[in-house]
Amino acid sequence: MTAALRFDPIRLPEKCEQLRKEVRAFLAEEIAAGTFDPHKPNREDTDAPEFSRRVGAKGWLGMTWPKKYGGQERSFLERYVVTEEMRVANAPTRRFFVADRQSGPVLIKYAPENIKMDILPRICRGEICFAIGMSEPNSGSDLFAAKTRATKTDGGYLINGTKIWTSSAHIADYMIAIFRTSQPTKENRRHGLTQFLVKMKQPGIQVNPIGQITGQHEFNEVVFTDFFVPEDHVLGEVDGAWKQATSELAYERSGPERFLETYYVLTELVRAVGPNPDTRSAEGIGRLVAQLHTMRRMSVSVAGMLQAGKEPVVEASIVKDIGTVWEQQLPHRVRDLAAFVEETATNRETLERQLDFAIKTAPKLTIQGGTTEVLRGIIARGLGLR
């Protein structure tokens, strides 16, 4: 086995705890003002443009980015704390989350300067929303089989084809997508894909909603028909998108969002059992909290390694694997433990409502952002096992 697997024992510095207090105070004000209800994860509209702008005004979007692009040059650990508090409070982060986590860093690395100067400050102000266009019908896990074509034309490219499961495409201002610019070679089946910046809400792009079992509208099918993308919207190397994917994935895979999506059922269970839980409930909750604590330490460790300029791709994949399986099982474990909560408990109704929603949410958690099976393949390769 390789010695490459490593979780540095990172602890959050004191200034992070100060920031945590600020974020909590801000969120408490938002809840008091009625922006969102933390006990209602199943609200119909998770998109909150004004809230997004207020988060931006606090300086909590693009926190780690250079100041010249509107960022704050703060650390990944500080960003970690903001993300964690937003998730724990169930804040409506849909509008800014992808841009802040993923799309901004891709632009910083690969976009021309004029595009960076135009778009990055708007992300930092919470004004714009991004989508990720990777999956296609018949190529989800196997990203490098993508078929949507980008054909060279005067001054740019014409796009034809279909993306699917595209989260937030119906509200997004931009998408970062991969399109096929040439065929794979015999030596390299991953060759031939290029990353592009796509301006949404234009003729040539049709966004078709896909409903989910929860009743929410989160993702879409996106159809491109002779859609024009200008030359300077190519991000990075033509035909070389495969070289750009790995470091992006470390950002995507290891954050607190990867184990906190159903967290609300745990806090609701604690509320429902009250201050004097029976032995079985106390033991069950203790076990869940211990697991959560361990995962969080691993996730903070990855954030610390990113801060130190490392690329902990395998460690990030491990956090996502363990984290998403845990958050997927959490509603079921909570349901088992809730069997011991008195029928007459005053807040049992909220728990039942939340469980109904969380159990319907659970299946997607080990699919979005890369399936468990595929992640385990990456981990095995990283450990030298295949």
Ligand X SMILES: Cc1cc2nc3c(=O)[nH]c(=O)nc-3n(C[C@H](O)[C@H](O)[C@H](O)COP(=O)(O)OP(=O)(O)OC[C@H]3O[C@@H](n4cnc5c(N)ncnc54)[C@H](O)[C@@H]3O)c2cc1C
> Under the rule (CB under 6 A), what is the footprint of ligand X?
131-135, 140-141, 165-167, 218-219, 364, 367-368, 370-371, 373-374, 377
Q: Which is nearer to ligand X, 277 or 382 (CB)?
A: 382
**SS3 state at 323:** helix
Smallest gap from residue 210 Cβ to ligand X (A): 9
Report helix angle 279-307 to 313-338, nearest 10: 160
Q: Which is nearer to ligand X, 123 or 341 (CB)?
A: 123
Closest CB to ligand X: residue number: 140
Smallest gap from residue 134 Cβ to ligand X (A): 3
CB atoms inside a 10 Å sphere around CB 73: 11
Q: Which is nearer to ligand X, 70 or 192 (CB)?
A: 192
- Calpha distance 250→282 (Å, rounded): 35
- Calpha distance 301→296 (Å, rounded): 8
Q: Which is nearer to ligand X, 26 or 96 (CB)?
A: 96
**SS3 state at 330:** helix
Are 311 and 245 a contacting pair, CB within 8 Å? no
Smallest gap from residue 308 Cβ to ligand X (A): 28
Smallest gap from residue 341 Cβ to ligand X (A): 30
Smallest gap from residue 6 Cβ to ligand X (A): 25
Q: Which is nearer to ligand X, 49 or 377 (CB)?
A: 377
Residue 211 has what DSSP assignment?
Answer: E
365 phi and psi, to 5 degrees?
A: -65, -30
The beta strands (E) that lie in 78-192 are given as: 130-133, 149-153, 156-164, 174-180
Q: Which is nearer to ligand X, 54 or 199 (CB)?
A: 199
- Calpha distance 90→41 (Å, rounded): 7
Smallest gap from residue 337 Cβ to ligand X (A): 27
